[in-house]
Amino acid sequence: MQRIPILKMGPYLLVSIQVDMDDRTAMALQDDLMEQIVRHRARGVLIDISALDVVDSFIGRMLADTAAMARVLDADTVVVGMQPSVAITLVELGLALTGVRSALNIERGMDLLRSRIEGPGIADGHHEE
Amino acid sequence: MAGKSALSDVVQKNGREILSAWVQRQQTDLALRNNLLQPGELQQQASDFLTAFGPAIERGGTDSTTGEAWSPVRDLLSTISRSRARQGFTPAETATFVFSLKRILFDALQREVKDSTQLADEMWKASVVLDDLGLYTTETYQKGREEIINRQQQELMELSTPVVQLWAGVLALPLIGTLDSARTQVVMESLLQSIVDTGSSIAIIDITGVPVVDTLVAQHLLKTVAAARLMGADCIISGIRPQIAQTIVHLGVEISDVMTKATLADAFAVALTRVGLAIVRKG
């Protein structure tokens, strides 16, 4: 089974999904993410899905669940780089991912996370172990 | 078979008289519509038809008009009825092209065939053939019309979904006409593609040109907004007329989580603020 790498950058976790995900990979990613959020006290998670041409209802639900779980662990989640066809499919499936925030690309996504997380007085790297 | 050749004999022998009588008859029938046809067009069509008609009866018989031998006649008729559909003739007028030949043919048969039993037989055959062809004309006329409608629908669809960039990072989508599922799909695709192409973070959907917003249209709008949001762009719906605002509330459509503005100008002002710009008066 493939494992999707999770990169840590300051108080953020970066995930770039470059392979077609099957359900087990997705569940493994969810487990790993939660573990890493707790271990690194991460405040934000950025998931890049620009390489995904197909997102089925299971992956869609996984993304929404992941965002909700991360929320419980006090981390914001941003999904970036969704393809137009994927967006249309998800909407047609009735999965608007209301709890998940989106951005067009990684840059915008990081801006979004920073604006949410970095209040005054919190310096970069504050959350490192 | 003597009966079979009699009809085609009559047509082929009296071709000239039948043609002139037929053309004259049609000209009286279509007196008011003559301006739709080019001069000589009717004459040409009638003569082409008769040229194909005679051999077709001889080779194909009168039992059915679907065979190989009849195909030149059918091709000719479909060309004629398609061109008439484009020229603006009614279906009845188009079918008259064939039906008006009946009387002329009967007259010719009466002159040529003396035996009354044979005459009745020939007339019946001629009648059946012409009815068949007349129906075929109407059918192709209908098909021609449908093709025109489909093509126009396609053109309308492509014309009516332009995505324009108002400013760097601000897109506008002026919608005109009713939104159905097919159009929503086109609108959604072109909007999302433009968001990717221009890297825009905000899109204004202007519905000034949408005549009616019912639950279905509202649902389509919300879908478009949701898809854009998934791509990371916010949407503002603008151009909501007073009646439409009333309808939306009366129908109980829940659009409170989408930003709405009365005019495109208001929406544009909000969009500029979002991307961190402001318009100031000079001096």
Q: Model confidence over B163-182: pLDDT tens digits?
A: 999 999 999 999 888 888 77
Band (pLDDT 50/70/90 cuts) for residue B63 is: confident
What the block records as the tokens of B264 is 């495109």
> Per-residue confidence at B195, pLDDT binned at 50, 70, 90?
very high
Tell me what pLDDT residue B2 has. 40
Q: Is the pLDDT of residue A128 over 50?
A: no
pLDDT at residue number A120: 46
What would the mean pLDDT of A42-57 be, rounded to a whole number? 91
Q: How many CB atoms neighbour CB B240 within 10 A?
A: 20
Q: Give chain B positions within 8 Å (CB) of A84.
A: 189, 192-193, 195-196, 227, 231
> pLDDT tier at B109 (50, 70, 90 boundaries)?
confident
What pLDDT, on a 0 to 100 scale, did the predictor assign at position B20?
A: 85
Q: How far is A90 from chain B (nearest CA, A)?
A: 8
Higher pLDDT, B5 or B260: B260
Complex ipTM tops 0.90: no
Element (H, E) at A108: helix A106-117
Strand locations in chain B (E): 164-167, 170-176, 202-209, 234-238, 259-260
With 80 as the cut, is the pLDDT of residue B65 above it?
no
Residue B161: count of CB within 10 angstroms of its CB: 20
Token pair of B41 as six digits: 């067009």
Q: What percent of chain B has pLDDT over 70?
A: 96
- Mean pLDDT throughout B81-96? 83
- Determine the 3-state secondary structure of A31 from DSSP: helix
Q: Which of A46, A48, A49, A82 to mutate to test the interface with B (most CBs of B within 10 A)?
A: A82
Question: Cα(B177)–Cα(B156) distance, rounded to whole angstroms?
Answer: 9
Q: Which CATH code, of 1.10.490, 1.10.1330, 1.10.150, 1.10.287, is assigned to B7-156? A: 1.10.490
Q: Looking at residue B53, what is its pLDDT?
A: 84
> Looking at residue A21, what DSSP letter applies?
-
- Taking residues B53-74, report their average pLDDT: 81
Query: Residue A71: CB partners within 8 Å, gap ≥ 6?
Result: A77, A99
Span B114-143, mean pLDDT? 87
Token representation of residue A54: 């197909």
The phi-psi region of residue B61 (left if phi > 0; otherwise alpha if psi is between -120 and 50; otherwise beta) is: left
* Predicted pLDDT at A119: 60
Structure tokens at A59: 């992956």
For the packed helices B71-87 and B116-159, what is the interaxial angle rounded to 10 degrees? Answer: 50
- B34 has a pLDDT exceeding 70: no
Using the predicted structure, report yes or no on whether residue B104 has a pLDDT greater than 50: yes
Architecture, CATH, for domain B164-274:
2-Layer Sandwich (3.30)
Cβ-Cβ pairs closer than 8 A, A with B, add up to 53
Q: What is the mean pLDDT of chain B?
A: 85
Q: Closest Cα of chain B to A103: distance in Å? A: 4
Residue-level pLDDT at A43 = 92
**What are phi and psi for residue A22, nearest 5 degrees?**
-100, 175
State yes or no: pLDDT of A30 exceeds 90: yes
Cβ-proximal residues to B106 (8 Å cutoff; 6+ apart), any chain: B123, B126
Angle at A80 between CA A76 and CA A81, to 5 degrees: 175
The B-side interface with A (CB below 8 A) comprises 185, 188-189, 192-193, 195-196, 199-201, 223, 226-233
A47–B contact, CB cutoff 8 A = no
CA-to-CA distance for B160 and B173, rounded, in angstroms?
10
Q: What is the pLDDT of residue B162?
A: 85
**What pLDDT score was predicted for residue A124?**
44
B37 Cβ contact partners less than 8 Å away, ≥ 6 residues apart: B30, B87
Whole-number Å distance between alpha carbons of B177 and B196: 25
pLDDT given for residue B45 in this prediction = 85
Q: Are strands B170-176 and B164-167 parallel, antiparallel or unpaired?
A: antiparallel
**Domain chopping of chain B, boundaries:** 7-156, 164-274
Instruction: Supply the DSSP symbol for B205.
Output: E
Least confident residue range of A42-46, B25-29, B227-231: B25-29
pLDDT digits (tens, 9 = 90+) for A51-97: 999 888 899 889 999 999 999 999 999 999 999 999 998 998 888 88
